[in-house]
Amino acid sequence: MAVSHCNRSRVSAFFAPEQRVWRGRASLAVVFWGYGVGVSLVLATLQATAIFTGELLFQQFLIAVSALYTVWIVIAIWRCARNADPFWGTLARCLTVTWALNAGLVLFFLQIELVLRYVRG
């Protein structure tokens, strides 16, 4: 029991920054640029590499991760926008919704292409 509690404490401490982001208690600039743009670029680079190398299973994994991450980051940015100047908060919300719609369409078409590749063999 003590080991379980200790492990939970370590995990909770490790993810403390993400918990602050999720709860809207982080700087909008850090969340928008670091978590939003930075992590999205990493995911896009991994996806492009997986497509180039033909790793279908990894592509599928990345589509799922990217979809879940998109939902998470849109909610996080929306919540953190209230911490910023109203102009920047509104701009970040508008850009994030637009970005999420684009990401959704890109992931949808990547999924269609992946299904077609599975079907073709």
Backbone angles phi, psi at 27, to 5 degrees: -65, 135
**Number of continuous H segments (helices) and E segments (strands) in the chain:** 6, 0
Structural domain harbouring 93: 2-120
Position with higher pLDDT, 6 vs 20: 20
Closest residue by Cα to residue 31 from 16, 45, 43, 18: 18
What gap in Å lies between CA 48 and CA 31, rounded to an integer?
A: 24
**Lookup result for tokens 């209230």:** 82
Flag whether pLDDT at 3 surpasses 70: no
Cut 0.85: pTM above it: yes
**Lookup result for tokens 């602050």:** 20
- Provide the domain count of the chain: 1
Predicted confidence at residue 71, as pLDDT, reads 96
